Amino acid sequence: MTPYSPSEIPTVVKDKIGRSRYVVFRVESDEALEISELIKALREASNSLPRESRPSLVSYEGGLGIVRCAHTDKEEVIGLLRAISTIGRQEVCVTTLGTSGTIRRAREKYVDGRH
């Protein structure tokens, strides 16, 4: 195997692969939510977006959730999350806590740290 000099190291262009952002949010409601109801509400809210721009739910537990989206769609996804006012038959308040480029950092900063 031939070692590369620093100027010859092959690079991967992240924009071709796609950079993800992880948006952490909190759902405040009177009763516990079913995850299926949250997924349905997220799908309905993002229905107008192109399929590749729709956020996907990574995790949800104890009122805190994480969605993954493309870095170019981050602001639109934050707006979608904040616009959700009902999940199932419950009135809810969705607040975004922050955004990270890695899921690990999102969990460390906003979920485990309970920001």
pLDDT digit string (tens) for 28-77? Answer: 999 989 999 999 999 999 998 888 889 999 999 989 999 999 999 999 99
Q: Specify if 50 maps to a domain.
A: yes
* Total domains in the fold of the chain: 1
> Within a 13 Å sphere around the CA of 3, how many CA atoms are in the beta-carbon half?
2
Whether 7 maps to a domain, the answer reads: no
Q: Is residue 94, in this structure, part of any structural domain at all?
A: yes
Give domain status of residue 46, yes or no. Answer: yes
| 82 or 53: which leads in pLDDT | 82
pLDDT of the residue at 46: 93
Q: What is the domain range of residue 42?
A: 19-112
Can you state the angle between helices 74-83 and 35-45, rounded to 10 degrees?
120
The beta-carbon contacts of 45-52 under 8 Å, at least 24 apart in sequence, are: 45/80, 45/81, 45/83, 45/84, 46/77, 46/80, 49/73, 49/76, 49/80
Contact (Cβ atoms closer than 8 angstroms) between residue 22 and residue 68: yes
CATH number at residue 103: 3.30.70.3250
> What is the number of residues in the chain?
115
